[in-house]
Amino acid sequence: MSAPEQKPGRVHLVGAGPGDPGLLTVRAVELIARADTILYDRLIPSSALDGAREDAELRFVGKQGGGEAVPQEHTTALLIERAREGREVVRLKGGDPFVFGRGGEEALALRDAGIDFDVVPGVTAGVAAAAYAGIPVTHRGLSTAVALVTGHTREDAPPGAGRTRAKPTGAAEPGGTSDAAQTSDAAQTSDAAQPYDAAQASDAARTSDAARISDAAQASDPTDDHEPDFDWEALAAFPGTLVFYMGVRALPGIARALIDAGRPESQPVALVEGGTLPTQRTVTGTLGTIAEVARREQMKAPAVTIVGAVAELSQSLHWLPVRPLTGRTVAVTRARAQASRLARRLEELGAEVVQAPTIRTQALTEPEPAPLDPSPYDLICVTSPNAVEYLLQRLDDGTHSPGDARALAGARVAAIGPGTARALRERGILADVVPERFVAESLVEALAGVNARRALVARAREARDVLPDALKARGIEVDVVALYETVAEPLSPRALERARSADYITFTSSSTVRFFLDAAGPPSAKTKIVSIGPATSATLREHGLEPHVEASQHDIDGLVEALLVDAAENG
For ligand SAH, the closer of residues 101 and 268 by Cβ is: 101
Taking the C-alpha atoms of residue 560 and residue 545, their distance in angstroms, rounded to an integer, is: 20
For 130, left (φ over 0), alpha (ψ -120 to 50), or beta? alpha
For ligand SAH, the closer of residues 129 and 444 by Cβ is: 129
Q: Indicate which residue of 50, 215, 221, 246 is catalytic.
A: 246
For ligand SAH, the closer of residues 306 and 519 by Cβ is: 306
For ligand SAH, the closer of residues 274 and 417 by Cβ is: 274
Which amino acid, 362? Answer: Q
Selection from 301, 256, 261, 305 nearest residue 285 by Cα: 305
Distances (CA, A) of 415 to 364, 393, 486: 20, 17, 20
Sheet holding 359-363, edge to edge: 359-363, 477-488, 454-460, 379-382, 412-415
For ligand SAH, the closer of residues 17 and 418 by Cβ is: 17
Q: In the complex, what is the shortest distance from the CB of residue 266 to ligand SAH, in angstroms, rounded to a whole number? A: 24
Q: In the complex, what is the shortest distance from the CB of residue 99 to ligand SAH, in angstroms, rounded to a whole number? A: 4
For ligand SAH, the closer of residues 326 and 361 by Cβ is: 326
For ligand SAH, the closer of residues 275 and 435 by Cβ is: 275
Contact 279, 194 (CB under 8 A): no
Q: What is the 3-state secondary structure (H, E, C) of 70-98?
A: CCHHHHHHHHHHHHHCCCEEEEEECECCC
For 17, left (φ over 0), alpha (ψ -120 to 50), or beta? left
Residue number, nearest CB to ligand SAH: 95
Q: Is 63 a catalytic residue?
A: yes
For ligand SAH, the closer of residues 254 and 444 by Cβ is: 254
Q: Is 246 a catalytic residue?
A: yes
CA torsion 470-472-477-482 (nearest 10°) is 60
User: In terms of DSSP H, where are the helices of 288-407?
Assistant: 290-296, 314-317, 336-348, 385-394
Q: Indicate which residue of 63, 93, 300, 528 is catalytic.
A: 63
Tell me the sheet residues that pair with 399. Answer: none
For ligand SAH, the closer of residues 9 and 45 by Cβ is: 45
CB atoms closer than 10 angstroms to residue 542 = 11
For ligand SAH, the closer of residues 301 and 456 by Cβ is: 301
Q: In the complex, what is the shortest distance from the CB of residue 273 to ligand SAH, in angstroms, rounded to a whole number? A: 6
Burial class (CB within 10 angstroms; exposed 0-12, middle 13-18, buried 19+) of 521: exposed
Taking the C-alpha atoms of residue 18 and residue 16, their distance in angstroms, rounded to an integer, is: 7
Q: In the complex, what is the shortest distance from the CB of residue 274 to ligand SAH, in angstroms, rounded to a whole number? A: 5
Reported as half-sphere exposure (CB side, CA atoms, 13 A), residue 194 has a value of 10
Question: Which segments within 402-449 are labelled E, that is strand?
Answer: 412-415
Q: In the complex, what is the shortest distance from the CB of residue 246 to ligand SAH, in angstroms, rounded to a whole number? A: 5
Contact 38, 56 (CB under 8 A): yes
Phi, psi values for residue 473, rounded to 5°: -60, -25
Question: Which segments within 96-153 are labelled E, that is strand?
Answer: 116-120, 146-150
Q: What angle do CA 197, 200, 202 make, to 5 degrees?
A: 105
Contact 555, 438 (CB under 8 A): yes
Strand 303-307 and strand 241-246: the pairing is: antiparallel
Taking the C-alpha atoms of residue 547 and residue 540, their distance in angstroms, rounded to an integer, is: 7
Give residues in contact with ligand SAH (CB under 6 A).
18-19, 43, 93-96, 99-101, 124-125, 129, 221, 223, 245-247, 272, 274-277, 301-304
Give Cβ neighbours of residue 114 (< 8 Å, ≥ 6 apart).
none
Q: Indicate which residue of 36, 41, 209, 225 is catalytic.
A: 41
Taking the C-alpha atoms of residue 277 and residue 20, their distance in angstroms, rounded to an integer, is: 5
Active site residues: 41, 63, 246
